[in-house]
């Protein structure tokens, strides 16, 4: 079978793996963004206890490789009776790790807003939380699109690490096909092209969102 015909024959299986990769990425990005927002707010609060907790969390999860976190959650916790299926373990690890990076992105975005706007909001009788919700954060999210796009693309590629625990994402499907057909060049070339297609599509989507916000600015 020729190269093109072979790639076309395995493409449906690779696309199934790509769907799992997208599920991992979207779930992790959503959960990581929620947790990252809380961590960012804790990092900039005046309460020292919260700042230290957020600082420790970010230091820990940025300092430990994601692949180690995945294996710890799946194998380590499993050894003490806390057993998770492969995909939930992957989502949990990617969410916890992604939240550390997203927290720093959000923190930097919030702190990029001029301090005078917070002072003006407080002088008008708003509470700190009201000022954050009505004045600061609505301006911040427009500035977050480029770095959040980068983080999403990184998570999309990092989903390949779930292959180490047997998750049926794109890379794992490629490994399984390689062990069956021993045509590494074609298989991993096709895997690379699918990843490139996915990252390109989402880059275009985020670029359009950024351009729309630029018009509003």
DSSP 20-65: HHHHHHHHHHHHHHHHHHHHHHHHHSS-HHHHHHHHHHHHHHHHS-
CA distance 72 to 5: 40
pTM: 0.87
* pLDDT, tens digit only, all 217 positions of the chain: 778 888 888 999 999 999 999 999 999 999 999 999 999 989 988 889 999 999 999 999 999 999 999 999 999 988 898 888 989 999 999 999 999 999 999 998 888 777 777 777 777 777 777 777 777 777 777 778 889 989 999 999 999 999 888 878 899 999 999 998 888 899 999 999 999 999 999 999 988 887 776 654 5
**Residue-level length of the chain:** 217
List the domains of the chain with CATH numbers. 3-216 (1.10.3720.10)
Do residues 160 and 20 touch, judged by C-beta distance below 8 A?
Answer: no
């Amino acid at each position: 079978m020729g190269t093109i015909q072979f790639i076309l024959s395995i493409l449906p299986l690779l696309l199934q793996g790509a769907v799992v990769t997208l599920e991992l990425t979207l779930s992790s990005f959503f959960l990581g963004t929620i947790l990252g927002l809380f961590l960012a707010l804790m990092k900039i609060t005046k309460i020292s206890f919260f700042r230290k907790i957020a600082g420790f969390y970010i230091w820990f999860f940025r300092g430990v490789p994601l692949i180690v976190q995945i294996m710890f959650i799946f194998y380590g916790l499993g050894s003490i009776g806390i057993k998770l299926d492969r995909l939930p373990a992957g989502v949990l690890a990617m969410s916890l790790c992604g939240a550390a990076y997203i927290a720093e992105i959000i923190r930097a975005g919030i702190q990029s807003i001029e301090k005078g706007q917070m002072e003006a909001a407080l002088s008008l009788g708003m509470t700190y939380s009201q000022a954050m919700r009505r004045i600061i954060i609505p301006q911040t999210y427009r500035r977050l699109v480029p770095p959040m796009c980068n983080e999403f693309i990184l998570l999309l590629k990092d989903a390949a690490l779930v292959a180490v625990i047997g998750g049926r994402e794109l890379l794992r499907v490629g490994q399984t096909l390689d062990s069956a057909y021993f045509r590494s060049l074609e298989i991993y070339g096709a895997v690379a092209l699918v990843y490139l297609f996915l990252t390109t599509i989402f880059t275009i989507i985020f670029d359009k969102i950024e351009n729309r916000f630029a018009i509003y600015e």
